[in-house]
Amino acid sequence: MRILLVEDDPDLGPAIARALRAEHCAVDLAADGIDAQHLGETEAYDAAVLDLGLPGKTGAEILAAWRAGGRALPVLVLTAREAWADKVTAFKAGADDYLTKPFRVEELMMRLRALVRRAAGHAQTRIACGPLAFESQTGQFEMDGLPLKLTAFEWRVLSQLILRREVVIERLELLERVYEGDADVDSNSLEVIIGRLRRKIGAERIETVRGRGYRLTCGEQPA
């Protein structure tokens, strides 16, 4: 997952970003409302974690602007504000979930994974594609019932593919969802990752659609 994290606390923001990266997420951190709104409008994210009290613009203002502009990315509000009125304001602005500080990183990850899974149209937490399976609430992949060992970049690519199994994902979109905004991306890096994944799950399971991108296929493969 590529996550937009909006948090102005100079200690908490980087700490949350490190925790999310440890769970294979790509994270862009914004510390003020102006930058946050711009990133949410112009970059591709799987979800946003949004504080309410921010310099420049409030979280509720940012969220309302995103929704007014047609941005449908899942948004989890993460704030110290516990008042019912703040929760009502956030949900009216378009929030999908609300978590108060202090919090457990494990709960934050579970909520984010659930938001991303539901946004992709999956009701069940376990997503299967032939012999490949993804336990979305734990982030664990299995192949033929055994845990599949993946690097962070492999995990990001494969999670995008399995959440939209049998659908062609454009190459540019995959790149945008896998790498952080300030990353120096080699033009062949995605092909290298796809090649490694093919060796792990079967070469024919990731189809190259010439001129467009890649598709994860779930049907039986020829011997």
Give tens-digit pLDDT for 9-41: 999 999 999 999 999 999 999 999 999 999 999
C-alpha–C-alpha distance, residues 218 and 174, integer Å: 19
Answer yes or no: is pLDDT of 223 > 60: no
Predicted TM-score of the model (pTM): 0.84
**215/170 Cα distance (integer angstroms):** 9
Is residue 148's pLDDT more than 90?
A: yes
Pairwise CA distance, residues 23 & 25, whole Å: 6
Please say whether the beta carbons of 80 and 100 come within 8 A: yes
- pLDDT, average across residues 198-210: 94
For residue 6, give the nearest of 73, 91, 76, 99 by alpha carbon. Answer: 76
For residue 5, the 8-state DSSP code is E
Task: Lowest mean pLDDT of 80-89, 176-185, 186-195, name the range.
Answer: 176-185
CA distance 76 to 115: 8
Average pLDDT, the chain: 92
For 105-116, what is the mean pLDDT? 94
